[in-house]
Amino acid sequence: MTLSSPAFAHDAPIPPAHSHESGDLSPELRWSGVPASSLELALTCEDPDAPGGTFVHWMLGGIPAGREGLAAGEQRPRIARGRNDFGDNGYGGPQPPAGDPPHRYVFTLYALRRPSGLTSGFSVDDLRPALKDNVLATATLVGTYAR
């Protein structure tokens, strides 16, 4: 499975338009190679370089397996939006501490063998068991951001 974005290349800077300080516009994402037996997709974006430990910026569940991507800022009512570490449901863009070296933002797409059962407002503690023994394939895209 592959995951990409027309907004930034793998290991390249994420444009400021997709940052927290610019209004939290989620980047366009595209994927391919989803296993035919997948019943659902899930997506996360995490900053493993955050000072307090991994910071969750985005979690989605219930993405139809037949989808091939998400438009910038897309919010479909049937896609479950998880609660990010800013305390909001949906995407919260990069906002590393000013002066820090660039942080990595790891977007991970999960192809699931059975429905996750996640509903909007789910937490990372809800996501982990929904993924356990349920992942057929993953794809990762890493972007960087500094202020």
Tokens 């449901």 belong to 89
Mean pLDDT of the chain: 97
Calculate Rg over the CA atoms of the chain: 14
Terminal-residue alpha carbon distance, the chain: 32
Domain ranges of the chain: 2-145
**Do 126 and 53 contact (CB within 8 A), yes or no?**
no
pLDDT for res 75 = 85
Check: CB of residue 7 under 8 Å from CB of residue 72: yes
- Give the tens place of pLDDT for each residue, 120-129: 999 999 999 9
Asked if CATH classification 3.90.280.10 holds for the domain at 2-145, the reply, yes or no, is yes
Strands 135-145 and 12-13 turn out to be parallel
Q: What is the pTM of this model?
A: 0.97
Q: Give the pLDDT confidence of 61-90 residue by residue, as tens digits.
A: 999 999 999 999 998 888 999 999 999 999
Most distant CA pair in the chain, distance: 45
